[in-house]
Amino acid sequence: MRLFTHDSSNSKALIITGFSLVIILMILIIIISATELEHTSQQIHEIIEVNNYKEKLVETMHISAFKRVSSIQRMVLLSDAFDQDDEAMFIDEQGNVFTQARQKIAAAKLNESEVKLLKELSQFTRVTVPIIRKAVDLTRTGRIERAKLLIENELIPAQLLVFHTLSSLQDIQEKNIDSAFRSMLTAQRFSRYYMLGLGLAAGILSILIAILTYKRVQQAETLLSYEKERAQITLQNIVDGVITTNGYGLIDFINPTASALTGWHPHIALGQPLLTVLNLNDSLMNKCCHSAEDVPHCRNKNMTLLTRSNKKLAIELNASSLPYDGFHSGGVVVTFQDVTKARELTQTLSFQATHDPLTGLYNRMAFEEKLESRISDSRNQKQSHILCFLDLDHFKQVNDSAGHAAGDQLLIQLANIFSKHIRNSDFLARMGGDEFAIILENCDTYKAIHIVEGIRKEIDEYRFEWLGKEYQVGVSIGLTTITAEAEDINQLLSQADTACYLAKNSGRNLIKFYTEATDTVTAL
């Protein structure tokens, strides 16, 4: 009060003419500023809490969906019914976890984009759940191959859509937090501009008001500092790595996750160029970016992070440029996550979809796709290939007398012998049981007979030892030519099978060639 009185005595005329107006302006501006700051504070607090809550639910759904896919993959590999039941119960449990998390996030406060993505997630879930149940039923009833095909052809593509939708939900949470930070900056600028207007309007009499305003701004900055600290704590604890830079491309923030993934301690990383710490490469270890400004434009999905210890991590990365204005010097913000295990799982699933789990050779599905391609080559490029069908002789005797373990080991060793005789361009597959098939690419009849005769001869001379006993097997081989006149793969497989069948009925351990022109099988 003494300060106000002192100013009044020195500026009596100005007080009389302008004090009332200044007070009105002061009150209005303080009310507006305080209301805006309070509203922004509450809004930011709500956004942070709600988005953290929703982010944890999305992460829960992501993990449970991943566990269900992994469990159904394990289930089809199990032979024990009790083990299969355990996996089925685990799948149901994870389904319940997923459903409960989805119901909780549906009950939370959502924007239009989140509602839309949640509807899409529900649609994708309604697709995947029946597929999972069907795969479980097929596995329990012993129809393992059908279950595997169902998983490979329907479940995994559908589940990838679920994962993509969940990732989009996580992206929205990050955007919401970014929007909240921008609201804080807007509120701060709003208050400062009004305070400056008050000083210009009030003149000398605004000294007192400026003091009061300054106190108010201090309170506002304290509040903003508190909210900024909360935001920093949030960034420190989120599961993704986060790095920000200033306008010169030097790191000014790195959270613990990013520090752990890159191998750079925060105290050492701060002030370093972004690309020194975030060493980004493509799958062939070529540099993805040459400057910090390139990072927001990098769209390489198969990105690799080379850590400080030269360890390679597969990552998914999002980056955005920070705006340059009168208060901020620009820069970039980068978020990334380690997807090494997820990428390895994808590669494993892809390998399992096309390869025989026992021998490591291509499976029947991959072989039929390759055969279809070779038919197309014959039609379009006038190429000629040879299809070979191989059926082991006396294999059942080994399996029955020595056991399935011996039979499996014999199949592995024979597969190695087959591989040794074919060329790099040829295609070898296990069709099932003791049946194999080979596509000899760009191969004439003479060369084909030479190759399969080498296989037949070595198999005939090969002796399989198991637990002190010696076993002998043979191989009956049927061949046919892949030409432009072939109708489809079924016709070719039937021809090769016919030739192989005749080789078996003619005494086994023989090679027969199917002649398409006469629709007969020729003895060799």
Which residues are catalytic, by number?
434
Q: How far apart are the first and last CA of the chain?
A: 119
Collapsing DSSP to helix, strand or coil, 273 comes out as: strand
**Residue 305: helix, strand or coil by DSSP?**
strand
- At 242, list the tokens: 């986060």
- Amino acid identity of residue 213, one-letter, is T
Q: Which of 373, 358, 375 is nearest to 414 (CA)?
A: 358
CA nearest neighbour of 335 among 303, 309, 291: 303
- What does the block give as tokens for 109? 């406060």
Closest CA to 269 of 287, 281, 257: 257
Contact 242, 255 (CB under 8 A): yes
Helices 12-75 + 206-237 axis angle, to 10:
10
As a whole number of angstroms, the distance between CA 428 and CA 431 comes to 10
How many CB atoms within 10 Å of residue 307? 15
The set of long-range contacts for 378-382, using a CB threshold of 8 Å and a minimum separation of 24, is 378/482, 378/483, 378/484, 378/486, 379/484, 382/484
DSSP secondary structure, 147-174, as one string? HHHHIIIIIHHHHHHHHHHHHHHHHHHH
User: Letter for the amino acid at 288?
Assistant: C
- What's phi and psi for 4, nearest 5 deg? -65, -40
The 10 Å Cβ neighbour count of residue 398 is 23
Distance between CA atoms of 170 and 231, rounded to whole angstroms?
Answer: 17
Q: Report helix, strand or coil for 46.
A: helix
At position 158, the amino acid (one-letter code) is A
Helix (H) or strand (E) holding 230: helix 206-237
| Chain centre distance of CA 439 | 34
E-strand stretches of 396-473: 427-432, 435-440, 463-466, 469-472
For residues 151 and 300, what is the distance between their CA atoms, to the nearest angstrom? 28
DSSP 324: B
Count of CB atoms situated within 10 Å of the CB of 188: 20
- 168/59 Cα distance (integer angstroms): 12
Q: Which two tokens stand for residue 81?
A: 């019914």
Residues 32/194, Cβ–Cβ less than 8 Å: yes
